[in-house]
Amino acid sequence: MATALFPQHVIARKRDGAELDRGEIEAFVKGATDGSWADYQLSALLMAIFLRGMTPRETAILTEAMMRSGTIADLSAIRAPKADKHSTGGVGDKVSLHLAPMVAACGVAVPMISGRGLGHTGGTVDKLESIPGFRVGLSISEYRAQLEKIGVALISQTAEIVPADRKLYALRDVTATVESIPLICASILSKKLAEGIDVLVLDVKFGRGAFMKEKARARELAVALTSVAKAMGKPTRAVMTAMDEPLGHSVGNALEVAESIECLKGSGPQDLMDVTFALGEQMLVLAGTAKDAVAGRVQLERSVSSGAALAKFREMVAAQGGDPRVADDPSRLPASPIRAQVPSPSSGWVQDVDALGVALAALRLGAGRARAEDGIDPAVGISGLVKVGERVLNGQPLCVVHANDQGRLAEAHAILDRTIVVGPGAVPRAALVGEIIG
């Protein structure tokens, strides 16, 4: 009925547990996009959704309405299959930087629109911007042209893509409604499906350094994401991965780019490559260029050993205005003037490297932002991080802190002293890659 499209009626229906229809959900998204709903009305419905939830049908309608609130990239002229990967966020998660060129070197186009970091999770866009001259702000036409030419583009969200999400996410952030699974699904998938992709692979993380701490809750999110994406006609799989300790040995923007370059040269850390291959295999299988995960792994390993993946990364950097020489000489990346080791207090085995603690230390150094408007220092961070289960000697470096300020260095050092635990007993390493859903 017509009165149900007034904001207060839509809010009341969801408040009372009703399933909203397409017209009501589309009115909500239109109100967020054109300003016809007041912020307090949008916030009220967000809270009602948070408390009452949404059915899979409602979530799919919300995702589609948000996707259609802006431009949907038309990549139909690109003959290659188009695949993307999205991570729910972690510490030291630089996978996209080297995975995208690896997959592109295997003949699959990778259109990837990424975000900036906020809080303890780093953003792919911030890492890319640590490469001198690298442009993330391509227009849709530039994005399409680059994909046609070289098969890979890593850019930031444009004003043309899903404007409703920018408004709703800002309100979710200040109204304690971020953790609603239907709202998370709609936010992630509306942006990813507007990229013009054919298939999607999701890295859904759980653990202390993840957005979703509890594995069961993360699995619930993975099931919801894959179900909604499939309902919208996009083959999708989710890979469950642990995030209790940082991924790789480095946390910090330029430091993570340098580590990704090592991955492209075939010498990346084992844990980082395990996650990279698990995601890349599924991208190639869904895209139809590998018959199974084993064949996908062979293709990805060949892209690295042949140098094709590194060449694709170099080509992407040059296409987006960056200095392509960083691919061969990572010392051209920003570097901090202060470097200090954190020594082991005793001999033994590394018992714990708390991902959240490491992230907070990096945040204190200036590698991340506590607020959306904060600046980023691309040079600072932590490198050489030990891994759980490693044998260390008294005084051996547990990590190296890269800083631009002695005061911040001292604060980060104090956090890391509490974060990395060394003890007398050997500790087995838990598997990082878990269930594949979808």
Read off the pLDDT of residues 376-413 as tens digits, 9 standing for 90 and up: 899 999 999 999 999 999 999 999 999 999 999 999 99
What is the per-residue pLDDT across 162-185, written as a single tens digit (0 to 9) for each? 999 989 988 998 898 988 999 999
DSSP at 2? G
pLDDT of residue 352: 96
pLDDT of residue 6: 93
Q: Collapsing DSSP states into helix, strand and coil, what is residue 166?
A: helix
pLDDT of residue 368: 82
172 is catalytic: yes
Classify domain 336-423 at the CATH class level.
alpha beta
Burial status of residue 298 (CB atoms within 10 A of its CB: 0-12, 13-18, 19 or more) = middle
Token reading at 296:
């996908």
Q: In what order do the strands lie in the sheet with 391-392?
A: 391-392, 348-353, 420-423
pLDDT of residue 409: 97
Question: Looking at 85, 86, 364, 369, which residue is catalytic?
Answer: 86
pLDDT of residue 120: 56
Token reading at 368:
């991340």
pLDDT of residue 292: 97
Amino acid at 246: P
CA distances from 313 to 110, 309, 324, 366, 367 (A): 12, 6, 8, 27, 23
What is the per-residue pLDDT across 317-348, written as a single tens digit (0 to 9) for each? 999 999 999 999 999 999 999 999 999 999 99
Compute φ and ψ for 238, nearest 5 degrees: -120, 135
Question: Looking at 126, 165, 354, 377, which residue is catalytic?
Answer: 165
pLDDT tens for the 438 residues of the chain, in order: 344 489 999 999 999 999 999 999 999 999 999 999 999 999 999 999 999 999 999 999 999 999 999 999 999 999 999 999 999 988 999 999 999 999 999 999 999 988 776 555 668 999 999 999 999 999 999 999 999 999 999 998 888 889 999 899 889 988 989 889 999 999 999 999 999 999 999 999 999 988 889 999 999 999 999 999 998 899 999 999 999 999 999 999 999 999 999 999 999 999 999 999 999 999 999 999 999 999 999 999 999 999 999 999 999 999 999 999 999 999 999 999 999 999 999 999 999 999 999 999 999 999 987 666 678 899 999 999 999 999 999 999 999 999 999 999 999 999 999 999 999 988 988 899 999 998
User: CA-CA distance, 112 to 84, in Å (whole number)?
Assistant: 6
pLDDT of residue 2: 43
Alpha carbons within 13 angstroms on the beta-carbon side of residue 393 total 1
352 is catalytic: no
Amino acid at 102: M
Which of the four CATH numbers 1.25.40.10, 2.40.50.140, 1.10.10.10, 1.20.970.10 does domain 2-53 have?
1.20.970.10
Question: Looking at 114, 187, 190, 383, which residue is catalytic?
Answer: 187
pLDDT of residue 169: 86
pLDDT of residue 179: 86
Name the residue ranges covered by the structural domains of the chain: 2-53, 83-330, 336-423
Measured torsion, CA atoms of residues 32, 35, 37, 42, in degrees rounded to the nearest 10: 40
CA distances from 185 to 304, 360, 372 (A): 33, 27, 21
pLDDT of residue 134: 97
Question: Looking at 13, 85, 144, 172, which residue is catalytic?
Answer: 172
Distance of CA 205 to the CA centre of its chain: 10
Cβ contact 203:85 at 8 Å: yes
86 is catalytic: yes
For domain 83-330, the CATH architecture is: 3-Layer(aba) Sandwich (3.40)
Question: Looking at 98, 191, 312, 413, which residue is catalytic?
Answer: 191
pLDDT of residue 19: 97
User: CA-CA distance, 269 to 95, in Å (whole number)?
Assistant: 11
Q: What is the pTM of this model?
A: 0.93
pLDDT of residue 374: 73
pLDDT of residue 128: 96
Token reading at 186:
């709609």
Q: Collapsing DSSP states into helix, strand and coil, what is residue 180?
A: coil
